[in-house]
Structure 1
Amino acid sequence: MSSEKENVMDMKSINYRGPAIEEVDSISPTNNAGLIDGSFSGSPYSSDSRSSGSSTIEPVSDSTYHAKIGKPIYKRIVDSFKPMDLEDLGIDTEGMTQLEKSVIATSQSRLVRDLKTYHLIAISLGGSIGTGLFVGSGNALAYGGPASMVIGYFIVCCALLTVINALGELSVQFPINGSFNTFFSRFIDPSWGFTLAIMYYLSWAISYPSELIAAAMTIQYWNTSINSAVWVAIVWVVVSSINFFGVKGYGDVEFVLTIIKVVAVVGFLIVGICITCGVGDQGYIGGKYWHDPGAFNHGFKGVCSVFISAAFSMGGLELCALAAAETKNPRKALPKAVKQTFWRLTIFYFLTSIVIGCLVPYTNPNLLDGSGIAASPFVIAINAGGIKVLPHIMNAVIIAAVISVGNSSVFGASRTLAALAAQGMIPKIFGYIDRKGRPLVAIVITSLIGLLGFLVVNKNEEAVFTWFFAVCSLASFFIWSMINVTHLRWRWALDAQGRSKDEIIFRSPFGVVGSFAGLAVLIFIIATEIWVSLYPIGSTGASVETFWQDCLSLPLLLAIWAAHKTYYRTWNRLWVKLEDIDLDSGRREISLEDLKQELADEREALHSKPFYYRVYHFFC
């Protein structure tokens, strides 16, 4: 047996007395993944030979292996439903705190690692290019004007630049189940981990039925005779079924849908530039609408109103980190996905906002009063240009976008719920992962929440969902802010424990300074959103109803955090001490010295490259 397999990672902050578990393929010789009698099926190691305090793992003989898989089928089915405890992995949990147990549990994920780089890019883009861009951008244009929309999107993109790189650094270092939701517990405090994970789950879970309704309304562009509930049911079956095909099936579908959306956005940009330059019924437009009715609407408040639309549109960029535990080689795949996803998304939103601002005046009544895709600035611009067939094509693209975002909603929500269960913060049944690596119970629960889409037949459907979304209105900004805080505490913990930055696999190009700057921008955005919600555009005084609709997530977040603190009686500790933060669990590399040497070799090789290549590598 090689020395690498016998090496045990030094655990500084917890009493880890079991073996270091090396990465194991999830596909066994019988094409089964998961645990049989507490051992990894398909693994050459058995838990039977593990004992507390032992650092060796004996190989399983062929006869033992076949004896295990040769059990009666009913017995294997029953065993497959048994929950995985930490003791099953040879880990002695005696004396561990709940935080220490949750760190170990999430680092030993049984999710199947079938995702590749192109899957991660597609998942991030797919979750971010949806109705928020195709339809919601019209709302931003109407309230803020073209210049406000460009400025608002640019500011949010700058904040996200620091967030996604900080998150990439953490997720490459610790590709664990639940990813950044788990980091909140690990690097800040379990109460914050629980609170933000619940908010993140609600964001995706509530988004799912709203996307189903959006799909039904979009389809009615062609057919108004069939009840909308029928289309909700059809799309619900399609989206829910996709997630039952496993993570690779989800990734492949998302890849195809993302290609459709990207091609549509690029095509619209080309057509939009042509219309602006004079092709179409309107003749040459140029920057006419930037002068009349103007570049800004409602002044500074108009700019602030764009922030919430930008957050709704770009939410989902962090999904590539959530999928880290299901990625074959996160060390190579995640940095590329993080960098490329951000720049592509920024280009799409930045260029699209400029083109839309040139084609549609913010005074167009359909932006606020239109129903379904009639409110889409994409469709308004194409119709105004006199191009007859493109609105139908754009309608089909919006349907693909809705299915994609609905798909991402189930994926993001189910992984978050499973991670909460793995940490012991909710009942274990929610974290059940079957032999195909699917968080089955979490997928089922999230799919059932999607049935709220049948509220489409209710006359008060819009009011109901307004209050549903109030629950998670500012959630994205809170989560992005805490990601930057987590990155800062990770770096501070390295210093506090005397560890070298040379062991960081992927470093955020902007480092600690970037996280501070991003945090400052996000705090500013949250403050302005509270102000605009309390004193909304067009109001002569304070509006209590608008404030609660836009900011209900703030008191809810504080209430959940306080309730968790009170229930677990942890008011004596507001955050985990830097000296106690676990800096090792969840790594896939076992030899720290070998890792440092490999990273040093890679940096030396990069330094020998031409300047232009180093610049490209820095950003992409």
Structure 2
Amino acid sequence: MPELNEKVASLFGSKTTSAEAPAVPNEAAPNPDDVEALSSHTGLERTLTSRHLQFIAIGGTVGTGLFLGTGGALGSAGPAALLIAFAFVGAVVYSVMISLSEMATYVPVAGAFTTYATRFVDPSLGLAMGWVYWLSWALTFALELNAAGLIIQYWNKSLSVAIFIAVFWVIFTVINFLPAKIFAEIEMYLASIKVVTIVGFVILSICINAGVGDQGYLGFKYWHSPGAFKPDDIIVDSKPALGKFVSFWSVLVTAGFSFQGTELVGIAAGETLNPRKTIPSAIRWTFWGIFTLFISTVFFLGLNIPYDEPQLMSNAKDASASPLVVVVRLAGIPVLPDIINAVLLTAVLSAANSNVYSSSRILVSLADGGHAPKFFKRSNKWGIPYYAVGVCSAVGLLAFMNLGAGGAVVFDWFLAIVTVAGLICWALTNIAHLRFMEALKYKGISRDDLPYKAPFQPYFSWFGLFFSSLIALTSGFQVFIKWETSAFFTNYISIIIFVVLYGGAKLWTRSKVVPLEEVDLSHNEK
């Protein structure tokens, strides 16, 4: 196994080491306090607390998917389909989060996902998974920068988007070169604005539904007319029931995109104080916090907006397309659209800030595993991996591409990569966890002795693996109903990239699945 890891590492001139001696069955679980005494091999400093982890994840998750994407999803599928889709994907995310929590508390490392896939499954899988996940978050930074400029144009369309792309790029690049604790504090305040806004919106929605506003009392009026489910336009005439299911399934992709980022709690495991105690609490509060915010928001959106409202299907990228604005506009409440646009800007900027952090730590993890040039691990005296941050920030400059002819097409590809890449990594996280449990059993380590024991296992991991994979594979199923070659590649570009990376790594290294006796369960970063 060491030879395989070294061959992967030879691609970039670094070296992945294995455990000094092969693990043997009935291996005793190491002292839980050992991890606290170990210095990070990557040079990252353990300074983050549970609240930092929670707000980093909230900052990366609650963004355009919830504030903008839910409008189009409601308009294309109906309120009941939207609510069920978000609840169902929430269950998939829960399976990923508890799996990640069990691994991250036992082996707390930076960038988590790549390391676990490499250690527990296959080095080639870790390489492919890490680069796809890194690409998705690095490209999201460019997407959010562009979105920020478009949101500001809501107030003044004469201003060029390029101005704001440049300004915000500089600001967030600088912030991410600050010590991780300072970055986390800034992110905490930015994310707090989003949380307060959603809570305020839910309260306002209850009042509007009860009769405050121009529409009077609503109740479940719009669930009856125009209806709770909207059949897919392509097959509505031939098979209405099937059309409703097709509409529901299409919304799963939107829900998956909206929930992406919840797993960022695991990315920061290598910079967390007392990870064995901090991570389980952070993951639990992060998931349930985000799940509650999402479910309550989409529920009240479905109550207060009919799915045939024309503004829901608008192609606008500012507050005019936000379903939150549609709610207050239908209620006849002035001023609030401007306030919501300001919040939407904050949401996008918070996500952009989190994107640079998460993508840079994934790059550090890739370098530490021998899957990227080793200089990406270099950190300054504050524990900031400056090369990794610099490269990830530079990817954000791709936002300027959207200003040129044909740029919108390129950005559609970027968005497709981001959407499906998260689903791929969720599935692979569950695979890594299944393998982790097999290794524990082989080495005689009881899961009852782990710092955190995930419930409902291995059933939840199999559940998450199956449906994450299924949603990713069917993300562009509409192209098979009405074939369009360009749409096929747009929808499946992430899967194509992953297959190419994994296949290329397998051909180059000839790596195999890591034998159970060689699975590295050590607590320190290699």
TM over 0.5: yes
Q: Partner letter of residue 581 of structure 1?
A: V
CA displacement at 1:471 relative to structure 2: 3.3
Partner of 2:366: 420
The match for 2:492 is 551
Does the 8 Å contact 1:152/1:307 carry over to 2?
Answer: yes
Residues 1:238 and 2:153 aligned together: no
Partner of 2:411 in structure 1?
465
Shift of 1:176: 1.2
Residues 149-180 of structure 1 show CA distances to partners (whole Å, capped at 9, x for unaligned) of 11111110001111101101100111112212
Q: Distance between the aligned counterparts of 1:526 and 1:350, measured in 2?
A: 22
Which stretch of the first structure deviates more once superposed, 125-134 or 220-229? 220-229
2:435 to 489, 493, 497: 489
| Structure ID, larger Rg | 1
Q: Which residue of the other structure, out of 214, 224, 228, is the alignment partner of 1:291?
A: 224
Find the residue that maps to 1:135 and give its secondary structure. Answer: helix
- Of 122, 133, 145, 1:200 maps to 133
Match of 1:13 in 2: 23
- Cα 1:472–1:399 shift into 2, 3 Å: closer
Q: What SS does structure 1 have at the residue aligned with 2:477?
A: helix
What is the rounded CA distance, in whole Å, between the counterparts of 2:22 and 2:448 in structure 1?
Answer: 18
CA contact 1:420–1:431 (8 Å) conserved in 2: no
Deviation, 1:456, is: 4.0
2:470 equivalent among 506, 509, 524? 524
* Structure number with higher relative contact order (C-alpha < 8 Å, ≥ 6 residues apart): 2
**Is the 8 Å Cα contact of residues 179 and 384 (structure 2) preserved in structure 1?**
yes
Give the distance between the partners of 2:412 and 2:473, measured in 1 at CA.
21
Residues 201-600 of structure 1 mapped to structure 2, 5 A cutoff = 201-297=134-230, 298=232, 299-372=244-317, 373-535=319-481, 541-570=482-511, 573=512, 575-586=513-524
1:180 alignment partner AA: F
Q: Deviation per CA, 1:237-263, whole angstroms, max 9, x where unpaired? A: 121111111211111011101111000
- Aligned residue pairs: how many? 488
What secondary structure is seen at the aligned counterpart in 2 of 1:300? helix
2:63 paired with 1:130: yes
Q: Aligned partners of 1:365, 1:128: CA distance in 2, in Å?
A: 27
Query: Normalising by the residue count of structure 2, what TM-score does the alignment of the two structures yield?
Result: 0.89
**Residue 599 of structure 1 aligns with which residue?**
none
Partners of 1:365 and 1:493 in 2: CA distance: 54
Contact kept? 1:12, 1:583, Cα under 8 Å: no
In structure 2, what is the Cα distance between the partners aligned to 1:495 and 1:346?
Answer: 32
Native 8 Å contact 2:43 2:378 kept in 1: no
**Alpha-carbon distance change, 195 to 398 in structure 1, aligned in 2, over 3 angstroms:** same
Alignment correspondent of 1:120: 53
Query: 1:543 and 1:264 mapped to 2: Cα distance?
Result: 40
Tell me how far 1:109 sits from its aligned partner.
3.2
Distance 1:504 1:24, change over 3 A: closer
How far did residue 340 of structure 1 move?
1.0
For the structure 1 residues 429 and 108, does the alpha-carbon distance in structure 2 shift closer, same or farther, using more than 3 Å as the test?
A: closer
Q: Could you list the runs of 5+ residues in structure 2 that have no partner in the other structure?
A: 1-18, 25-30, 233-243
Percent identity of equivalent pairs: 38
Query: Are the aligned partners of 1:304 and 1:532 in contact in 2 as well (CA < 8 Å)?
Result: no
Maintained 8 Å contact 2:364/2:388 = yes
Secondary structure of the corresponding residue to residue 227 of structure 2:
coil
Shift of 1:348: 1.0
Report deviation, 1:108: 2.5
What is the distance in 2 between the residues matched to 1:361 and 1:288?
9
Q: 1:10/1:185 Cα in 2 relative to 1: closer, same or farther (>3 Å)? A: closer
Deviation at 1:472, TM superposition (A): 4.0
Kindly state the Cα deviation for residue 132 of structure 1 after the two structures are TM-superposed: 0.7
Which shifted more, 467-476 or 353-362? 467-476
Q: Where do 1:37-56 residues align within 5 Å?
A: none
The secondary structure found in structure 1 opposite 2:313 is helix
Alpha-carbon distance, 1:505 to partner: 0.9
| Counterparts of 2:492 and 2:453, CA distance in 1 | 34
> Distance between the aligned counterparts of 1:25 and 1:253, measured in 2?
28
Matched residue SS, 1:498: coil
For 2:484, the aligned partner's letter is: S
